[in-house]
A and B are shown apart, each in its own frame.
Chain A
């Protein structure tokens, strides 16, 4: 019994660790460091710049309103959403269609969901670089408020950890679904992240949405996560918006943890369902690129 439990732990660790190493090998050495630096800087800043220009055109460059840091920080941290959802789910397509190794992963004594999560770690790390660069640029050049002395670091770290876990569970759900679908050209993770951009209060408060769609936003855990990130960094500014003002930090954390658990359970069920159907329909090793 002890041996079984030990070997399970070894399998779990191996699945995650090897996948993390593999994901890093794939993500980290695709070009020269200089080009990698350019990519890491231009991509996130261009995404932020779209919103900054949109805002600037309308407000004639007045960055001193509370809505600007709201949308800037929301957009900055939202990069984690696309990065993690894509990082976890794209591994299925990459392994199945391009490297044609998914079948070998399946027959190896590893835990497949953990393998996928491990593959997503590299994108989380590169996503972190994007988030840091975006925030640093905003603070340095756009007067986005940030006082390191007043940052609620414990809240920031805990919320970040739970948020990333929550995103990982969502990524797992997407990865499971990807087992059943063909390789159309889209990045499924980015497509879902793009859609959730509307519903998670990332770049505007949920009050702006029509009343009939707002409940969906309240059911999306990303909403609470972004609110916690803003509160930890710029507490007073975040409180200017009434969306979640009736909840304290601990309550928000509780809701986020609860939803993360819900998504974790859902991901297990979705994985089992999709895995079963993929095996039944011989989809594990199919190549559908066209």
Chain B
């Protein structure tokens, strides 16, 4: 037990290691996110309400060109999923870069925890806002635009969602690892990774609109197949507009989970060593 009266005495309590340390780190890093959002709530307006309006713009484009109603549903679901993409690009990758600028990254690296735990903590901490944004878009979008759903297999839908999220966050850790080496270009690269990803992942239209090879290449981004599979499972005509069958897409997502998670672990370690070798962990080259 710690000597309460004398904090300078040697601690006899065992410090956590292994998985216990991993989860402590995750929770500790999620804490500033969760608490920060409670203490300053302007994000509710800027990060939930305004994006809903932005997504609605794409709905009305379809209405203006007399698109079939299921396309409205596609936009609503796709718009909701942009929240997750924004979360990994801004809340993980870009945030890691800001941590470097602020000096926190050096303290994280120096501590005996894992960078994956830090990143996971960042992502989980931002999940409240992300989920709220996604749910708000789906609920309000569905109500306002009278979107009709026909969920065939709910368990499969949950499975696709979680597989896509796991693979997506694995990809997020990979991009975050690259940000360990970046300087001022980080900001611009994150901005560059928005519209092109929305385009090739088919956030607002079925990915089947592209030729097979473009759609296949785009499938490296987990949201591409995740979105396509989810649309097939929730919309009556989803299967007609799907790229591959749901089972194939789910299998690919599971493979991506494994590849990205192991890849993230390896790449984070490699990038950390590279950054340490080149002296980039503590530079501030804004």
| Choice from A49, A55, A195 contacting B53 with Cβ under 8 Å | A195
B46 x A53 contact (CB < 8 A): no
A198 x B65 contact (CB < 8 A): no
A208 to B57, CA, bound (A): 10
Min C-beta distance of A208 to chain B, whole Å: 5
Interface centre among B65, B66, B198 (most CB of A within 10 A): B65
Interface residues on B, range: 35 or more
B61 x A43 contact (CB < 8 A): no
B196 x A54 contact (CB < 8 A): no
Min C-beta distance of B170 to chain A, whole Å: 20
A199 x B53 contact (CB < 8 A): yes
Given A195-B54, A198-B54: A204 in contact with B42 (beta carbons within 8 A): no
Instruction: Kindly list chain B residues whose C-beta atoms are within 8 Å of the C-beta of A209.
Output: 60
Instruction: Kindly list chain B residues whose C-beta atoms are within 8 Å of the C-beta of A199.
Output: 53
Interface membership of A197, Cβ < 8 A: yes
Interface membership of B113, Cβ < 8 A: no
A58 x B192 contact (CB < 8 A): no
A203 to B161, CA, bound (A): 31
A180 to B67, CA, bound (A): 42
Min C-beta distance of B146 to chain A, whole Å: 12
A184 x B42 contact (CB < 8 A): yes
Stretch of A150-158, A160-168, A185-193, A244-252 that contacts chain B: A185-193
How many A-B pairs have beta carbons closer than 8 Å: the answer is: 145
Interface membership of B108, Cβ < 8 A: no
Min C-beta distance of A282 to chain B, whole Å: 15
Instruction: Kindly list chain A residues whose C-beta atoms are within 8 Å of the C-beta of B205.
Output: 50, 53-54, 57
A17 to B42, CA, bound (A): 32
Given A46-B195, A184-B43, A185-B90: A51 in contact with B61 (beta carbons within 8 A): yes
CB interface residues, A 256-290, toward B, < 8 Å: 287-290
Interface membership of B40, Cβ < 8 A: yes
Interface membership of A122, Cβ < 8 A: no
A185 x B54 contact (CB < 8 A): no
Given A54-B58, A67-B64, A198-B53: A181 in contact with B198 (beta carbons within 8 A): no
Min C-beta distance of A24 to chain B, whole Å: 14
A98 x B95 contact (CB < 8 A): no
Min C-beta distance of B182 to chain A, whole Å: 10
Interface residues on A, range: 35 or more
CB interface residues, A 11-37, toward B, < 8 Å: 26, 30-31, 35
Min C-beta distance of A20 to chain B, whole Å: 19
A186 to B50, CA, bound (A): 11
Interface centre among B36, B60, B61, B204 (most CB of A within 10 A): B61
Instruction: Kindly list chain A residues whose C-beta atoms are within 8 Å of the C-beta of B126.
Output: 185
Instruction: Kindly list chain B residues whose C-beta atoms are within 8 Å of the C-beta of A288.
Output: 36, 40
A56 to B94, CA, bound (A): 34
A185 x B94 contact (CB < 8 A): yes
Interface membership of B98, Cβ < 8 A: yes
Interface centre among A51, A202, A204 (most CB of B within 10 A): A204
Interface membership of A141, Cβ < 8 A: no
| Choice from B183, B198, B206 contacting A57 with Cβ under 8 Å | B206
Given A50-B198, A290-B36: A39 in contact with B188 (beta carbons within 8 A): yes
| Choice from B39, B60, B102, B188 contacting A30 with Cβ under 8 Å | B188
B42 x A182 contact (CB < 8 A): yes
Min C-beta distance of B106 to chain A, whole Å: 15
Instruction: Kindly list chain A residues whose C-beta atoms are within 8 Å of the C-beta of B71.
Output: 57-58
Interface centre among B39, B196, B203 (most CB of A within 10 A): B196
B33 x A54 contact (CB < 8 A): no
B191 x A43 contact (CB < 8 A): yes
B54 x A186 contact (CB < 8 A): no
Interface membership of B232, Cβ < 8 A: no
Interface membership of B184, Cβ < 8 A: yes
Interface centre among B42, B71, B206 (most CB of A within 10 A): B42
A50 x B33 contact (CB < 8 A): no
A289 x B102 contact (CB < 8 A): yes
A99 x B61 contact (CB < 8 A): no
Interface membership of B209, Cβ < 8 A: yes
Interface centre among A31, A199, A202, A290 (most CB of B within 10 A): A290
Q: Looking across the interface, which residue of chain A has its beta carbon closest to that of B241?
A: A57
Instruction: Kindly list chain B residues whose C-beta atoms are within 8 Å of the C-beta of A202.
Output: 57
- 29 A-B interface contacts by CB (under 8 A): A26-B184, A43-B191, A43-B192, A43-B196, A46-B198, A47-B195, A50-B203, A50-B205, A51-B61, A53-B205, A54-B61, A54-B205, A57-B209, A98-B101, A184-B37, A185-B90, A186-B46, A191-B47, A191-B51, A192-B46, A194-B53, A194-B54, A195-B49, A197-B53, A198-B60, A199-B53, A203-B61, A204-B57, A290-B32
Residues of A near any B CB (own CB < 8 A): 26, 30-31, 35, 39, 42-43, 46-47, 49-51, 53-59, 67, 71, 97-99, 181-182, 184-186, 188, 191-192, 194-199, 202-205, 208-209, 287-290
Can you name 5 extra interface pairs (CB under 8 A) apart from A203-B61, A204-B57, A209-B60? A30-B188, A181-B46, A182-B36, A184-B43, A197-B57
